[in-house]
Amino acid sequence: MTEQSMAKSAADSAAPVADAAVNEANAQARKVLAGGAAVLRAYKLDHIADLAERKASSERQLRSVVVVGEVKRGKSSLINALVGHRDLSPTGVDVATTIPIAVCPSTDPPLDGTAELMFPDHSSRVPLGTLADWVTVDGKHVRDLHLESLPTRASIPIAHSELGDVTLIDTPGVGGLDPTMAALANSSAQQACVVVIVCDATTPLTAPEMDFIRSAGASVDGLIVVVTKTDKNIRSWKAIVEDNRRLLRTHLDREVTVLGVSSLRAVIAAEMPPGAERRHSEQASGITLLRSEIRRRLDLADQLPALDALRTSREGLARVKKQVDREYETVEGSGSTLPDLTRQLADLERLKEESREWEQYLARDLAQLRQKAMDDADHRLEEIRDRWTTRIHKNGMEVLRRSPQKFTADMQVELQQALMSTMSGFLEQLYHQIVRPRFDDPAIWDLICSQIVASLYGQKVEGPQVQSKRHGILDPTLLSMGVMGSSMIGGLIGLSSALGVGAVVGTVWVSVNLGFRAMRTGKTNLLNWLRETIGITKTATARLLEMAISQARPDIVVRYRDFLRVNIEALQKEITVAKEAANADAAKREKNLKRLTTNREVINKRISETDRMIELLRAQENKR
Do residue 242 and residue 351 come from a single domain?
no
CA-based R_g, the chain, Å: 29
Residues 231, 227: Cα–Cα separation, whole Å: 11
Report angle CA 398, 401, 405 to the nearest 5 degrees.
160
Residue 376: Cβ within 10 Å count: 17
Task: Output the CA torsion 11→14→17→22 (10° steps).
Answer: -60
**114 domain residue, yes or no:** yes
User: Which helix (H) or strand (E) element contains residue 344?
Assistant: helix 338-401
CATH, residue 194 = 3.40.50.300
Among 568, 583, 615, where does a domain finish? Answer: 568
- The whole-number pLDDT of residue 310 equals 92
**603 domain residue, yes or no:** no
SS3 per-residue string spanning 8-37: HHHHHHHHHHHHHHHHHHHHHHHHHHHHHH
Among 537, 552, 568, where does a domain finish? Answer: 568
8 Å CB contact between 114 and 128: yes
Residues 115, 105: Cα–Cα separation, whole Å: 12
CA distances from 616 to 87, 221, 313 (A): 42, 18, 16
Nearest of 104, 216, 259 to residue 168 by alpha carbon: 104
- The whole-number pLDDT of residue 600 equals 93
**613 domain residue, yes or no:** no
**382 domain residue, yes or no:** yes
Do residue 272 and residue 340 come from a single domain?
no
Report angle CA 328, 330, 335 to the nearest 5 degrees.
150
**452 domain residue, yes or no:** yes
Report angle CA 225, 229, 235 to the nearest 5 degrees.
100
Do residue 132 and residue 237 come from a single domain?
yes
**Three-class SS state of 522:** coil
- The whole-number pLDDT of residue 276 equals 92
Among 568, 585, 616, where does a domain finish? Answer: 568
Do residue 293 and residue 340 come from a single domain?
no
- The whole-number pLDDT of residue 516 equals 59
Report angle CA 25, 26, 31 to the nearest 5 degrees.
95
**12 domain residue, yes or no:** no
Do residue 337 and residue 473 come from a single domain?
yes
Do residue 356 and residue 450 come from a single domain?
yes
Looking at residue 120, its amino acid is P
The total domain count for the chain is 2
Do residue 467 and residue 546 come from a single domain?
yes
Do residue 83 and residue 211 come from a single domain?
yes
8 Å CB contact between 226 and 196: yes
Nearest of 208, 176, 207, 177 to residue 195 by alpha carbon: 177
CA distances from 138 to 75, 77, 130 (A): 18, 18, 13
Do residue 373 and residue 254 come from a single domain?
no
Domain that holds residue 220: 62-301
- The whole-number pLDDT of residue 605 equals 95
Looking at residue 316, its amino acid is G
Residue 431, class by beta-carbon neighbours within 10 Å (0-12 exposed, 13-18 middle, 19+ buried)?
A: middle
**36 domain residue, yes or no:** no
Do residue 376 and residue 272 come from a single domain?
no
8 Å CB contact between 575 and 349: no
SS3 per-residue string spanning 587-619: HHHHHHHHHHHHHHHHHHHHHHHHHHHHHHHHH
Residues ≥6 apart with Cβ < 8 Å to 161: 82, 83, 84, 85, 103, 105
For 362, half-sphere exposure in the C-beta direction (CA atoms, 13 angstrom radius) is 23
> Mean pLDDT in runs of 10 for the chain (624 residues)?
43 49 80 95 89 75 78 86 85 70 78 80 83 85 76 84 86 61 44 80 84 70 86 87 89 85 91 91 93 86 81 92 85 68 72 70 89 94 91 74 70 75 85 84 79 63 36 30 30 30 32 60 78 82 87 86 76 73 74 88 95 87 60
Do residue 222 and residue 362 come from a single domain?
no
**287 domain residue, yes or no:** yes
- The whole-number pLDDT of residue 514 equals 55
Residues ≥6 apart with Cβ < 8 Å to 565: none
Helices (H), 509-585: 515-520, 523-583
Do residue 296 and residue 408 come from a single domain?
no
